[in-house]
Structure 1
């Protein structure tokens, strides 16, 4: 079976290179090298504010990017994702030029982008020529802004695997994202909001999930 070619979407105010380094630090790049070929892409928007506390500049140097900036309307209190439409347009063009891709591999804010892409794909709005067939999501977050609510009313009918930290402050949001998928496979780990070094049992589950996707692609 061929290796799966997967589009990798980084977290808030980081980069594709940083996501690659996070994978190496967790040892997942080596453990999965025979199964996957990750294509890391930078978000189209330069970072507009301070870095997250888990992104030390001495370990993860610039440049930094974000998929959008969350802003709150002072009059209504409602939040919006400034730039999300531009991000989706950017990624669909990237897929058309550099694809096809078998699936998505995402961390934190990247998982929100993934859910929007998959929802729009399911509604026939994007990626119809070469649809994405699965998602592996680390420390996921379900988008909540009103402008995207209509996109996320239906469960997503693609296989998904969700890696969630027991000590992650956004664990509940990650579980809610998993509920957006029809048949989510959830892997819990004992740490926080990170790409974890998975245990033997968990890495076996992840490898099994990826092997099943590779077998489907060879049919």
Structure 2
């Protein structure tokens, strides 16, 4: 699978490559990863301050105090995918996961029939996601967090949700999981904080990889079923597979 990768706020693509190294190694060959850097200079995120030097350039994708930046992030991501895509999946952390979830919802609202038949991403992996926002209201200069109570299961593709039980923002990640289809949603909560499980978190890496593989498998099953259905295969399965 070809993954589009979005880092967190106050980091950069190189740092995200390092953060995801153990996960990517354990997933094995057969996948490629394209890391897209934010454009807004930012102070170092608290969890990586010991990893960076004053000379390092750090970025964010948006400022929630600047609605124009929020709209631009979605438009720029859309343009990037149109130019450099297609991508099979998106893998994102923290603010990057917020952008990814909001973008998927935006595309779904633009053309629900197309996104169910041929989604922009076949699956998504969210690490310690920040809250997703209502994309329609962003264009009106308003921020509204999307929670399961107002947007239950509005992301139809298979998704993996991974966050730490000691993450102070864990409710945000939990809310994003509630926006995704329950039948193909996989959740793993590790013992850490606001981070991507790394080499020192052996069990968390194994468990994260297990659910990511499950999501990839679900996406492949759905894709194969869609192909059989379009060809008129009488053996095509038209109901979505269930998660474990």
Q: TM-score, normalised by structure 2?
A: 0.73
2:115 matches 1:121 = no
Q: 1:192 to 1:93 in 2, by over 3 A?
A: same
Q: 1:148 to 1:166 in 2, by over 3 A?
A: same
Segments of structure 1 that go 5 or more residues without pairing to the other structure are 72-79
CA distance in 2, matches of 1:203, 1:130: 23
Match of 1:181 in 2: 180
2:44 matches 1:51 = yes
Segments of structure 2 that go 5 or more residues without pairing to the other structure are 199-203, 228-244
How far residue 134 of structure 1 moved from its aligned partner, in angstroms, is 1.7
| Higher Cα radius of gyration | 2
How many residues are matched?
Answer: 204
Residue in structure 1 matching 2:37, options 42, 54, 76: 42
Q: TM-score, normalised by structure 1?
A: 0.81
CA distance in 2, matches of 1:157, 1:137: 14
CA distance in 2, matches of 1:169, 1:150: 17
Contact in 2 for aligned 1:35/1:211 (Cα 8 Å): no
Match of 2:23 in 1: 28
Contact in 2 for aligned 1:103/1:132 (Cα 8 Å): yes
Match of 1:89 in 2: 75
Q: Deviations over 1:117-175 (max 9, x none)?
A: 01111012699786122210000121358724398754221211100101111111111
Q: Aligned Cα RMSD in Å?
A: 2.7
CA distance in 1, matches of 2:16, 2:212: 18
Structure-to-structure mapping, 1:27-176, within 5 angstroms: 27-47=22-42, 50-56=43-49, 58-59=51-52, 62-71=56-65, 81-124=67-110, 131-143=120-132, 147-149=142-144, 153-154=150-151, 155-176=154-175
Match of 1:75 in 2: none
